[in-house]
Chains A and B, each alone.
Chain A
């Protein structure tokens, strides 16, 4: 008998159809803050295929509304019209990775179109009631900044964050897609956190702290360095660009040169204040 689990990520409800009861127990624990009773929008079926190999050459192709793929030991398809997906895993250990690949892809496609939101490859952090998003490709410092934030505030996610625009401003949300760089107990997984978002920060390791406000197109280019999935289809890329345009009109985007010390938070508070003052002066 199929086992089911319903998950809410950024108001997209996934009904996971699992091949075994022990997998349900495993994933239930992993996704506990995101479980919901709300009606599902997406049906995602997980199956076993022990022949899959992580080292297989990855591929992805799109035909109409359907995307077929094999990546990192998972293969399957995702249909954006019928809102169904099937994904296979070679083992229990990779089951979460299989369903998260599908759910992240769906979030990339649907958040900008239907939910006034974007999924960004970034760390979402709340300090003194203010939200910060730090983004950049792997190795740019998201986990480092998350580690520095532990003593000062909440780490909503160290890897993938949802930014949603509401009539009262931008808000942050956790996702169940986290990295390996931050212990899970240090991540405060809250489905939505309504805090004023102070800015988006493109991370660059540097000998000293610097903060540079980015003009709109340059800001979008920075975001795109780590958002490849969003750009795989022309229609998706168009929706992504439109949503990014709305977000950068609400939230400033900076390039942040930083060194890994706790002075980061003081610098950000002061640096941002100076920037706001200089904008007011001009």
Chain B
């Protein structure tokens, strides 16, 4: 897959230490991500494919590539479905 996830322009977010806080003003929803989710959020900046994000997670969190790829796909799809991420 060559699509690159990126932050939805309507979302405000900031990473505090290693946990991200996301605010969706259109739905008045606030969400906090765990450290792995926060790292995926940081990496999903429109410059990387899912595979490229997974490679970074393999390196940083010492997980195998299949597990990382599956986690990234599931997590990104979930955030896209909630309009927190979008495809570039």
User: Which residues of A are interface residues toward B (Cβ below 8 A)?
Assistant: 215-221, 224, 228, 231-238, 240-242, 245, 248
Asked if residues A216 and B19 are in contact (CB atoms below 8 Å), the reply is yes
A234 and B17 contact, Cβ closer than 8 Å, known pairs A221-B30, A241-B23: no
Asked if residues A217 and B23 are in contact (CB atoms below 8 Å), the reply is no
Give every chain A residue within 8 A of B79 (Cβ-Cβ): none
Give the residue name and chain of the B residue nearest to A216 (CB): B16
Give every chain B residue within 8 A of A241 (Cβ-Cβ): 12-14, 21, 23
Give every chain A residue within 8 A of B30 (Cβ-Cβ): 221, 224, 231
Give every chain A residue within 8 A of B21 (Cβ-Cβ): 217, 220-221, 224, 241
Give the residue name and chain of the B residue nearest to A241 (CB): B14
Asked if residues A217 and B25 are in contact (CB atoms below 8 Å), the reply is no
- Say whether B70 faces chain A, with CB atoms less than 8 Å apart: no
Asked if residues B14 and A242 are in contact (CB atoms below 8 Å), the reply is yes
Asked if residues B28 and A217 are in contact (CB atoms below 8 Å), the reply is no
- Contact pattern, B 1-26, Cβ under 8 Å of A = 1, otherwise 0: 00000000111111011011101010
Asked if residues B12 and A237 are in contact (CB atoms below 8 Å), the reply is yes
Asked if residues B20 and A217 are in contact (CB atoms below 8 Å), the reply is yes
Extra pairs beyond A217-B16, A220-B21, A242-B14 (17, CB < 8 Å): A215-B16, A216-B17, A217-B20, A217-B32, A219-B16, A220-B14, A224-B30, A231-B23, A232-B28, A234-B10, A234-B11, A234-B23, A236-B25, A237-B23, A241-B12, A241-B14, A248-B16
Give every chain B residue within 8 A of A231 (Cβ-Cβ): 12, 23, 25, 28, 30
> What is the bound-complex CA distance between A219 and B17, given in angstroms?
12
Asked if residues B28 and A228 are in contact (CB atoms below 8 Å), the reply is yes
Contact count band on B:
10 to 19
> What is the bound-complex CA distance between A231 and B13, given in angstroms?
11
Give every chain B residue within 8 A of A233 (Cβ-Cβ): 25
Distance in angstroms from B28 CB to nearest chain A CB is 6
Give every chain B residue within 8 A of A220 (Cβ-Cβ): 14, 16, 21
> What is the bound-complex CA distance between A221 and B21, given in angstroms?
7
Give every chain B residue within 8 A of A240 (Cβ-Cβ): 12
Give every chain B residue within 8 A of A219 (Cβ-Cβ): 16
Interface residues of B in 9-57 (CB under 8 A from A): 9-14, 16-17, 19-21, 23, 25, 28, 30, 32
26 contacts between A and B (CB under 8 A): A215-B16, A215-B17, A217-B16, A217-B19, A217-B21, A217-B32, A219-B16, A220-B21, A224-B23, A231-B12, A232-B25, A233-B25, A234-B10, A234-B11, A234-B12, A234-B23, A234-B25, A236-B25, A237-B12, A237-B25, A238-B12, A238-B13, A238-B14, A241-B12, A241-B23, A242-B14
> What is the bound-complex CA distance between A187 and B60, given in angstroms?
52
Distance in angstroms from A113 CB to nearest chain B CB is 13
